[in-house]
Amino acid sequence: MSAFEVTATDGAARAGILRTSHGDVETPAFMPVGTKGTVKSLDPQELRTVGAEIILGNSYHLHFRPGDDVIAELGGLHAFSGWDGPILTDSGGFQVFSLRDTLIQVDDEGVTFRSVYDGAPERFSPEVAAQIQRNLGSDIAMCFDICPPAGVPTAELAEAVRLTTLWARRQREAERAPGQLLFGIAQGAADPEFRRRSIEEVSALDFDGHALGGLAVGESREEMFEATGWAAPLLPAQKPRYFMGIGDAEGILRVIGAGIDMFDCVLPTRTARTGSALTATGRLNLRNARFARDPRPLEEGCRCPACTRFSRAYVRHLVNQEELLGHRLLSLHNLHFLLELTAGARAAIGRGELADFTAAALARLAGGPQEDPWHS
The residues annotated as belonging to the active site are 90, 264
* Out of 307, 318, 338, 349, the residue judged to bind Zn ion by CB under 5 A: 307
155 contacts 103 by C-beta, under 8 angstroms: no
Name the burial class of residue 241, with classes exposed (0-12), middle (13-18) and buried (19+) by CB atoms within 10 angstroms of its CB.
Answer: buried
In the complex with Zn ion, which residue's Cβ is closer, 126 or 275? Answer: 275
Shortest reach from residue 57's CB to Zn ion, in Å: 26
* Out of 29, 31, 160, 302, the residue judged to bind Zn ion by CB under 5 A: 302
In the complex with Zn ion, which residue's Cβ is closer, 287 or 351? Answer: 287
248 contacts 258 by C-beta, under 8 angstroms: no
Choose one: 154-162, 216-224, 304-312, 364-372; the region binding Zn ion (CB under 5 A). 304-312
* Total Cβ atoms within 10 A of residue 169: 16
Shortest reach from residue 348's CB to Zn ion, in Å: 21
Choose one: 64-72, 301-309, 312-320, 347-355; the region binding Zn ion (CB under 5 A). 301-309
Of 225, 282, 285, 283, nearest to 252 by C-alpha is 225
* Out of 50, 62, 253, 304, the residue judged to bind Zn ion by CB under 5 A: 304
In the complex with Zn ion, which residue's Cβ is closer, 312 or 333? Answer: 333
Shortest reach from residue 340's CB to Zn ion, in Å: 9
Q: Site mask, Zn ion, residues 122-161, x = CB under 5 A? A: ----------------------------------------
* Total Cβ atoms within 10 A of residue 295: 8
Choose one: 90-98, 209-217, 240-248, 305-313; the region binding Zn ion (CB under 5 A). 305-313
In the complex with Zn ion, which residue's Cβ is closer, 197 or 333? Answer: 333
CA distances, 86 to each of 4, 139, 143 (Å): 14, 6, 18
Outline where DSSP puts E strands in the chain.
Answer: 4-10, 13-20, 23-27, 29-34, 55-58, 87-90, 103-106, 111-114, 121-124, 140-142, 181-186, 209-212, 241-243, 262-265, 276-279, 282-285
List CB contacts of 48: < 8 A, sequence separation 6 or more.
Answer: 85
Choose one: 3-11, 23-31, 38-46, 294-302; the region binding Zn ion (CB under 5 A). 294-302
φ/ψ region of 216 (left if φ > 0, alpha if ψ in -120 to 50, else beta) reads: left
Q: For residues 327-356, which are near Zn ion according to CB under 5 A? A: 333
In the complex with Zn ion, which residue's Cβ is closer, 182 or 306? Answer: 306
Shortest reach from residue 284's CB to Zn ion, in Å: 11
Q: For residues 181-220, which are near Zn ion according to CB under 5 A? A: none
Cα dihedral 95, 97, 100, 103 in deg (nearest 10): 100
Shortest reach from residue 272's CB to Zn ion, in Å: 11
In the complex with Zn ion, which residue's Cβ is closer, 14 or 333? Answer: 333
CA distance 190 to 131: 31
As a whole number of Å, the CA-based R_g of the chain is 20
Residue 123, SS3 per DSSP: strand
Interface residues with Zn ion (CB under 5 A) are: 302, 304, 306-307, 333
